[in-house]
Structure 1
């Protein structure tokens, strides 16, 4: 087994739908940026994994053909919002197994405006079983957005279970914007006050509009190499993928009667337990985290699922400032999905890119001091959860 090392990362600035380049340009630009960052020619890449959700088959080839026509395998990946991380999971697996020395994971998304919706209404939804679980737990509102019912319902359950106030979720959005103002790749960088977040239009349960991530277009890429290749080429600024875990749903997602489990807390808990065991680190060792804050309620729930604070301890964690600079672990220094944006296929790889910059010490104004170990968390309902541990090589 070879170590899997991140040799290059790249991303393009995220934008609103209708303001971006075409999907293939986004993917190609991200891939070229990662190759340039690594100092590696595309002809050295032996396999590529291309992640996207909105697009036709072989969109990965369309994006990468403008980078090079080398005849390598290009595998297209779609795993809901965890698509980008799943592409990296496969690239890392190919390198670790010794099948290849150089693998590229690229993710891109040219999203439409508005709430997420299926474009295959002639067949059963991939979330049908989860929708049934939601209906049995809290009922179903045909007028409300699907994702908002999921994550708003989980937030409401959290409040009832632990006596938390909705302000807790609002503070996450305020923190996200505060972090994003230092990130030139983020979509929303204007600061927010708690009053602004709480007074924005109500969406579902405790969620307001400013607690929800926006539809986004963008691209990101990560180049993974073996340790033998890195030594041969004299590569530097390497980041080790110390552990990765990809989990899917168990009975807990459907039959536990908990909206918190419906949105992936159980999957995240199992994935994080696995990567801690694989890497030999504990949550206390983690310096920074990029986690899946598609809604601010999910950030709160994920703190506990990832072991960053005790069950029911998120309110104290937030009020003590342990989720930001100067606290225990800086969460979403990029601004997260809430402020940086959430182009589904690119999100996981953008998280890895951000963490790699911090571990290298090249994150500029938002640099987390003395960053040595980073955690990444990316979920997709339907479902998949990827958790990764990165560390300086």
Structure 2
């Protein structure tokens, strides 16, 4: 049986709106130092670094880490769209579990621009050509930005099949704001009601208002991953380990099912979650707290079902019953999620990691989920990649 990887240090910087943050390298170095300080470890003990970002030139990871120290270790730059941070964590965990190294750093950051995400290269084939073509057929509305069409279209498909209402998505967004109000590093900490979400600017009539979408954000987060032997040798906190982790990519159903929920990764997420549950020998009912990829309120709802938190078609009832928050079956996105905490693409997966490690340590202050022992993370990038991670209180 292979050794487990332990998360012994986490750190992040408060997320900011584009134009308000420091440079990516400064944010990334600060998050790294925070994770090292949390672990009580010097940077020269780290043997490899996996650094994730979506918008940046090659070797931006080196630029960031050279502020922390120039120790000559391998630095691998990672880009997997919105699951980039979790992909870096996946590689760091894999390196430790395989015995290739005893200690690795996973770092993610993003310095974003205002407005909707757009293609950066126009002289080559887009990786989203097939996604866009299927979305054009299923959704139309080509005047709406693509990310809104992807996830709004997925929510619309759920509405059409199960009678889900716009109010349900508004309740999800309002829940995110209540959680974020307790999180000092969240971008938006003001609580909003479902009525205020419904009254916000309409971006797709009958499908989405502006508050149901996460904002472009700048930020950085990091985690130190190591073996139990390394943690014991250096006197590190080994109270949180990665019990199981899976990464999946798209299957034939993404385009073959002709369903926008599949286009945005429903089955990709379900496979990753199922693999994690099987590897850990648990079921979704055993999980205490969840950080999932709520880039839109619509994706949070779809993901409840993909992760098995409720049965397919029951997500609206799950929300109405309060089973997605404190006092319910699962506390989802106690950090405020992408909707309220913010979504700096490369940093998001490691910010989720930071939140869940703090939850399992009992260090989440006003956000603390009482008695949390198992924590599930879901991080999704279209194109596509999904990383699901189960953390266990050791």
Shorter chain as normaliser: what TM range?
over 0.9
Partner of 2:382: 381
Per-residue CA shift, 1:27-86, capped at 9, x if unaligned?
Answer: 100010000100111000000000001110000000000100000000000000000000
Partner of 1:160: 160
Aligned mates of 2:177, 2:312 — CA distance in 1: 26
2:313 is aligned with 1:302: no
Aligned mates of 1:314, 1:112 — CA distance in 2: 33
Alpha-carbon shift at residue 237 of structure 1 (Å): 4.8
Per-residue CA shift, 1:195-229, capped at 9, x if unaligned?
Answer: 11011111135111000000000000000000111
Alignment check: 8 A CA contact 2:6 2:238 kept: no
Gaps of 5+ in 2: none
Per-residue CA shift, 1:227-273, capped at 9, x if unaligned?
Answer: 11112122225311011111000111111011011111110000000
Alignment check: 8 A CA contact 2:49 2:74 kept: yes
Alignment check: 8 A CA contact 2:284 2:308 kept: yes
Provide runs of 4+ in structure 1 moved above 3 Å. none
Partner of 1:171: 171
Alpha-carbon shift at residue 142 of structure 1 (Å): 3.0
Partner of 1:203: 203
Partner of 1:103: 104
Partner of 2:120: 119
Task: Please list, as runs of the form range in 1=range in 2, the aligned pairs for 1:149-298 lying within 5 A after superposition.
Answer: 149-204=149-204, 206-298=207-299
Aligned mates of 2:91, 2:194 — CA distance in 1: 40
Per-residue CA shift, 1:182-206, capped at 9, x if unaligned?
Answer: 0001000111011110111111351
**3-state SS, counterpart of residue 346 of structure 2:** helix
Aligned mates of 1:195, 1:322 — CA distance in 2: 20
How does the TM-score come out when normalised to structure 2? 0.98
Size of the alignment, in residue pairs?
392
Aligned mates of 1:236, 1:93 — CA distance in 2: 20
Gaps of 5+ in 1: none
Partner of 1:70: 71
Alignment check: 8 A CA contact 1:188 1:339 kept: yes
Aligned mates of 2:31, 2:350 — CA distance in 1: 10
How does the TM-score come out when normalised to structure 1? 0.99
Cα RMSD (Å)? 0.8
